[in-house]
Amino acid sequence: MLNAKLKNYKLVLASGSPRRQQFFKDLNLDFTIRLIDVEEVYPTDLKREEITNFLSILKANAHQNFIKDNEILITSDTIVWHNDEALGKPKDFDDAFQMIKKLSNATHEVVTSVCFLTTKSCKTIFDVTEVTFNELSDEMIQYYIENFKPFDKAGAYGIQEWIGFAGVREIKGSYTNVMGFPTDKVFTFLSTL
């Protein structure tokens, strides 16, 4: 459906995330993947969507010299925001354990920004979803980390995995946003081009 509307454009997804790539496939979008490693460092005074906006634009800017006239380059970044702190990807087992322990029996926000870069413009959208976990025992956290190795996920968890089924009590907002990509907002944005 959207492919016909976007027939004059070539979508380029600049993400190595298998989940984001699958979302594009599930939306029936024709796209290519282009990857450039970017050091994801942001100013320490940024908060919430300021962080994800900054990082998604930073990732897009790495591609600026390679983008063609008919391309829409799409980058994205996700963080877990809890108690005025950004939780990114864990460094190791202990880091993952501490992150999930912080989220146990509490509500946090998952913030995702998506940047759309063309040769003429750079636009960014973001979404915020509230997620509430039940109390998670140390055994549950250890089992999850050992079996699912969530080291590539913001906040050290994937809601689509075991811990999401066993531990999430409530979600307010977009489920796909918690997985790292607010598909409805991306679809709506692309529909307006």
Element (DSSP H or E) covering residue 109: strand 107-117
* CA 69 – CA 110 distance, rounded (Å): 33
Per the annotation, the verdict on 37 as an active-site residue is no
Report the half-sphere exposure of 147 (CA within 13 A, side-chain side).
9
72 CB-near residues (< 8 Å, 6+ apart): 6, 9, 10, 11, 12, 116, 117, 118, 190, 193
Q: Which of 26, 30, 37, 77 is catalytic?
A: 77
Q: Which residues participate in catalysis according to the annotation?
A: 77
